[in-house]
Structure 1
Amino acid sequence: MRIALSQLTTGPDPDKNLRLIEEWTQRAADSGARVVVFPEASMACFGTPLAPLAEPLDGPWADEVRRIARTTGTVVVAGMFTPAPEGRVANTLLATGPEVEASYDKIHLYDAFGYRESDTVAAGTAPRVINVDGVRLGLATCYDVRFPEMFRAHADAGAVATLLAASWGAGPGKLQQWELLVRARALDATLWIAAVDQAAPGSEPASAPTGIGHSRVAGPDGTVRHALGAEPELLVADLDVDEVAEVRQKTSVLANRRPGVWR
């Protein structure tokens, strides 16, 4: 399966970000990608008041993403914000395209490194796996990458890859953590991890995570197959679905689990 990771930088204006999504989706489609993955907060960057711009999944912003996916014949995965109770929002991944319509609300909220995502965002409650041309793909968002059980849940649901959208906070050691965690989750669950981050901005606001770039694709054996730097760039990669079964036959970490011991 050919996928594209769109490592761009979004701003506070949802309409301008839609035009970026349209441009980058067309570029990906021209490269033969079947799935185009955009970062977390593609609708609007963090540091923007989220509640006033949040829209439901049947709202105009999501409908425009659907139109872009339909026009290009691709499945588009993009981060947006949807309304949630008590004035908060859900940090939502929309997955839409021919024969695909699903969403995932971020389960693990980024209450770390001096930032409290839970002040404005309500946590999701269920993992999500989508089916594209008979290939099952898990959905995950940013801080989820620190929780291996989620990626194992994707594998248990039949996924051969997880699409990870991020707006990774900068800081000392954060790049090294990002690189390590992406590889570790691929190895934990013996599946492909396609991790797309927002590109590094020209200046880093102190109040909110934006991105550091360095999107990457890790194989089911934990090795990095493709990687970008910090600047905006499109990464197109072919995922060998059959390799997952081959690695799982050799590295039987899923089969050798003893979950009853830890309950």
Structure 2
Amino acid sequence: MKIALGQLESGTDIQANLAAIDRFAASAAADGATLVAFPEYATYEKKIVDASFPAVAEPLDGPVCRELAATAARHGITLVAGVVETSDEDRAYNTLVAFGPCGARLAVYRKIHLFDAQGFGESAYIKPGPSTEPVVFEAGGAVFGLMTCYDLRFPELARSLADAGAQVLLVCSSWVPGTHKTEQWLALNAARAIENSVYVAGVCQAPPVSVGRSLLVDPMGYVEADLGLEPGVRSVEVSLRTVARVKEQFPMFRQRRLG
């Protein structure tokens, strides 16, 4: 099966962001992809998370998610994107939403590890998701697991998704630039793939707000695609047979003695 990585350059113009998502979804569908993944904060993004994020937040049945659902249905493709969701307080949720090719909502994941690091304070304006349960969904015969950006540094979340049956991890991100940050981004995506015998699709915002380098890593750690620094969309094959073969070659899930 084919999945597509949509590397955006999202800004504060929500309609422009939605238009870019629609263009990339159309291109991915035309290329035969069954799923297209977009970054964290795909529909609204700035260099710094501030009070404007809760101000633009919407419920999951609001106009932004309705448009994302319509895009998925219009192009007959499963679509995953990061949105800013209202909560029950003055902070918002940093949320990933998956819509199926008929426009139905398949999964919702609210980021649990907020980026209070490197001088940033995401939790001042974003509320952590209330549940740490792994969020997986099925599309095109494969099982996908959802993670957001800083989650990548917490290997136990990736392992819980693999334990829940995920064959492909979608790591939707806006990875903050800095010293060695691109190297860490590449290494951590590869590590999560190798240690769980799964594909990892790390989908990132483009510079300057983020580092770009959206990539697909196979279960052996080989980089199947790297989108570089410019916005764009690319379709890549994933093989569930490869997942099964690597799990058999390295039967870590049967051999581990912790947990």
TM-score in terms of structure 2 length: 0.94
Question: What's 2:58 paired with?
Answer: 55
1:163 matched to 2:170? The reply is yes
CA RMSD of aligned residues (A): 1.2
Question: What's 2:126 paired with?
Answer: 121
Question: Which whole-Å CA distance do the structure 1 matches of 2:59 and 2:74 have between them?
Answer: 22
Deviation at 1:144, TM superposition (A): 0.7
Unaligned runs of 5+ in 1: 202-209
Q: Secondary structure at the match of 1:52?
A: helix
Question: What's 1:234 paired with?
Answer: 233
1:129-148 aligned at under 5 Å gives the runs: 129-148=136-155
Offset from partner CA, 1:58-116 (integer Å, 9 cap, x none): 11110010001001000010000111233001100010023652211011111111111
Counterpart of 2:190 in structure 1: which amino acid? R
Contact conserved, 2:189 with 2:217, CA < 8 A, in 1?
Answer: yes
Question: Which whole-Å CA distance do the structure 1 matches of 2:182 and 2:140 have between them?
Answer: 34
1:31 matched to 2:31? The reply is yes
Counterpart of 2:81 in structure 1: which amino acid? A
Counterpart of 1:6 in structure 2: which amino acid? G
Which of the residues 72, 82, 86 maps onto 1:83? 86
Contact conserved, 2:100 with 2:139, CA < 8 A, in 1?
Answer: no
Q: Secondary structure at the match of 1:40?
A: coil
1:148-227 aligned at under 5 Å gives the runs: 148-201=155-208, 210-227=209-226
Question: What's 1:206 paired with?
Answer: none
Q: Secondary structure at the match of 1:163?
A: strand
Identity between Structure 1 and Structure 2 (%): 40
1:257 matched to 2:230? The reply is no
Q: How many aligned residue pairs are there?
A: 252
Question: Which whole-Å CA distance do the structure 2 matches of 1:169 and 1:60 have between them?
Answer: 28
Deviation at 1:147, TM superposition (A): 0.9
Counterpart of 2:108 in structure 1: which amino acid? S
Question: What's 2:99 paired with?
Answer: 96
Question: Which whole-Å CA distance do the structure 1 matches of 2:101 and 2:4 have between them?
Answer: 16
Question: Which whole-Å CA distance do the structure 2 matches of 1:91 and 1:221 have between them?
Answer: 30
Q: Secondary structure at the match of 1:111?
A: coil
TM-score in terms of structure 1 length: 0.92
Q: Secondary structure at the match of 1:50?
A: helix
Contact conserved, 2:54 with 2:126, CA < 8 A, in 1?
Answer: no
Contact conserved, 2:114 with 2:150, CA < 8 A, in 1?
Answer: yes
Q: Secondary structure at the match of 2:60?
A: coil
Question: Which whole-Å CA distance do the structure 1 matches of 2:250 and 2:223 have between them?
Answer: 17
Offset from partner CA, 1:154-212 (integer Å, 9 cap, x none): 111111111111101001100000010000000111100011101113xxxxxxxx211
Question: Which whole-Å CA distance do the structure 1 matches of 2:2 and 2:44 have between them?
Answer: 27
Contact conserved, 2:34 with 2:140, CA < 8 A, in 1?
Answer: no
1:7 matched to 2:10? The reply is no
Counterpart of 2:221 in structure 1: which amino acid? G
Contact conserved, 2:168 with 2:198, CA < 8 A, in 1?
Answer: yes
Question: Which whole-Å CA distance do the structure 2 matches of 1:257 and 1:107 have between them?
Answer: 26
Deviation at 1:8, TM superposition (A): 1.5
Question: Which whole-Å CA distance do the structure 2 matches of 1:229 and 1:17 have between them?
Answer: 20
Question: Which whole-Å CA distance do the structure 1 matches of 2:121 and 2:55 have between them?
Answer: 19
Q: Higher mean Cα deviation, 45-54 or 216-225?
A: 45-54
Offset from partner CA, 1:203-253 (integer Å, 9 cap, x none): xxxxxxx21111111011122121121111212101001111110111122
